[in-house]
Structure 1
Amino acid sequence: MTSELLDQALVEEATKKSGLIWVKGAGAPAARALWHVWHEGAVYLVGDGPGEQPLTGLADGGSAEVSVRSKDKGGRLVTWRATVSELNSGSPEWEAAVAELKGKRLNAPDGEEMPARWARECRVLRLVPAGSSLPLPAGSLAERPVPSPATTRRPVPAALPRLLARRRKRK
């Protein structure tokens, strides 16, 4: 009983304090970093709409594996299984979740109109911890980033090393 309570406390505290969680849905090829809110014993996510994070592999009634990293060091603290449920827009639970999510959404293009857009175009998911935390892996789980149009790789400009060296000399 005590280890279950400690597991619950670790999952809750680590997830509350972390800005990102890594979520791997049942049908997803790899875990994906997602911003979230911890509210009333569960993680809430919004996405799958224009300009929002993709929620690949997360389906209503499905399961997911959530890894939480340390906010200061970036290392993995805990990994836990979750049951996924999709909230119906306009329900009291959806309204409470969106109120929390709205405060955490950075750089939203539509400000106060954001909840209405989420109701029309996005999904709000609830991930509830199921069971005890999973053991930490023995080795690295590093993977190549998921292809995205947001990532670009270009050579470093030829003048950049000289510009950086010049700044160091001035100080």
Structure 2
Amino acid sequence: MTAVLDEAIKKASITWVSVGDGPAYALWCMPVESSLIVVTGPGEQHAPGLTSAPTATVRLRGDHGGLIVTAEATVTRLDHAGEEWAEIAPQLAGKRLNASGPAAEVVARWAATGCAIVRLTPAEGTPVTAPHLPDDSAAAPPRETPARVETRRPFRLHRVRPPRT
């Protein structure tokens, strides 16, 4: 692992993860050792295909907010009954912003609803850093979503006339 990747993981609070040729999704994460931990499932962030994929592409940003490193990562789903889940899930729940209830309730809800906690561990020799990063922004048009609502025109009590010139 390179120093840039190691430092980016330590400071990460969000990462862009893509599975195969699919689009990248911004996921909040928690660094643990040299890995990133994310939660996905009902009521949590949407990461299609991540839980069943053997690998994923992880993109991390630097202090300036721009992309500084990409890497292939091994995807490992934590077992609800395992030691690792018992250790990591409460820490992750504590970092969960706007959580409904204390960390113990959040962890119990994740287990009951089938949410997955996934460890993303960068594979050796895969990091891509500057100057080998792409020059384009990698921005894509917004995807269709049922969450979009049509913007209504603001209510006006009286007719607004354009200013005189």
TM-score bracket, shorter-length normalisation = 0.7 to 0.9
**Number of residue pairs aligned between Structure 1 and Structure 2:** 150
**RMSD (CA atoms):** 2.1
Percent identity over the alignment is: 37
Query: Which structure 2 segments of 5+ residues have no match?
Result: 157-165
Instruction: Show the counterpart of 1:12.
Output: 6
Task: From 49, 59, 63, give the equivalent of 1:57.
Answer: 49
Task: From 139, 149, 157, give the equivalent of 2:136.
Answer: 139
- Structure label with greater radius of gyration: 2
Cα distance change, pair 24–96 in 1 and its aligned pair in 2 (3 A): same
Could you state the TM-score of these two structures normalised by the residue count of structure 2?
0.80
Instruction: Show the counterpart of 1:29.
Output: 22
Could you state the TM-score of these two structures normalised by the residue count of structure 1?
0.77
1:103-127 superposed Cα distances (whole Å, 9 cap, x missing partner): 2101112333101111122011111
Select the structure that is richer in helix.
Answer: 1
Inter-partner Cα distance in structure 1 for 2:28 and 2:68? 17
Instruction: Show the counterpart of 1:45.
Output: 38
Secondary structure at 2:69's aligned position in 1?
strand
CA contact (8 A) 1:66 1:79 kept: yes
Instruction: Show the counterpart of 1:154.
Output: 151
Inter-partner Cα distance in structure 1 for 2:110 and 2:55? 23
Instruction: Show the counterpart of 2:163.
Output: none
Instruction: Show the counterpart of 1:167.
Output: none
